[in-house]
Amino acid sequence: MQESIIDIQSKSTYLIDENITKKGTLAIFSIKDSKFYTLGEVYLLGLIISKFLASFASINSFCELKIRCLDSKEILHYPASFGKKALI
C-alpha cells in the first residue's frame, strides 16, 4: 500500500458555515490505483485517511481530503471533517 502513494500535498482552505468562516486544511493524495484491486478499495482507504487526519484538527478547524487516482484519472473528494481536539 505504501508504494501506491506517490505524492501528498496540503494547503489552507476556508469554509463558510452559518456566516462563520472556518479555516482548515485540504490534503491532496496522489495514488497509483493500479496497485489496488478495485476503485472501491481506494475509496475505503480515503475514508480511513480522512478520519485519521480529522482526529488531529483542533475544535474550530477542519480537514478535507481529495485523492487523485493517477491511472484511472478519477478524483475522489471527501467532505470536510471538523476537528474535536482541544487546543490545550
- Domain membership of residue 88 (yes or no) is no
Above 90 in pLDDT, residue 35?
no
- Domain membership of residue 87 (yes or no) is no
pLDDT band at 1 (very low <50, low <70, confident <90, very high): low
- Domain membership of residue 75 (yes or no) is yes
* Nearest in space to 70 (alpha carbons), one of 31, 41, 36: 31
Count of alpha carbons within 13 angstroms of residue 6, beta-carbon side: 11
pLDDT band at 12 (very low <50, low <70, confident <90, very high): very high
pTM over 0.75? The answer is yes
Above 90 in pLDDT, residue 83?
no
How many folded domains does the chain comprise? Answer: 1
Domain residue limits at 33: 2-82
Quote the percentage of the chain above a pLDDT of 70.
Answer: 95
pLDDT in tens, 43-57: 999 999 999 998 888
